[in-house]
Copies of this chain bind each other. A is one copy, B any other.
């Protein structure tokens, strides 16, 4: 049986993250009856490595939990795994477009501002730089 720190070390995480995953239901340790420490079965190392792998692929903890529940019921989680990946690819594409649009707006403003002097607040203007920026599509910023 492993303590949080031992488990964290074997999976390249922090003890706090291990406790967090536990709170989220991704790990089920037992408690040491004397000091109340979390104690993990050695097989949890494999589970946790799976979690890290899935996270690196963009899966959220809630999605990973759903995948685990599939597996716990003996069902193949693979259909769900494929479906979530497709959704993420779409979402990420949208997010990339938003950030690229923001990047363009910022770089355009930077260029525009290069020739403008600093102004002093005069009561009807806070910062003319920002106020001068054309506000086309804002794009939700997530």
Contact = CB atoms under 8 A, between A and B. Distances in A.
Nearest to A110: B85
Interface stretch (A2-10, A17-25, A31-39, A70-78): A70-78
A130 B59 CA distance: 10
Interface of A: 46-47, 50, 52-59, 67-68, 70-72, 74-79, 81-82, 85-86, 88-89, 92-93, 95-96, 99-100, 102-103, 105-107, 109-110, 113, 118-121, 124, 126-131, 133, 135, 138, 141
B135 A82 contact: no
B127 A109 contact: no
Given A53-B131, A71-B121, A121-B76, A106 B46 contact: no
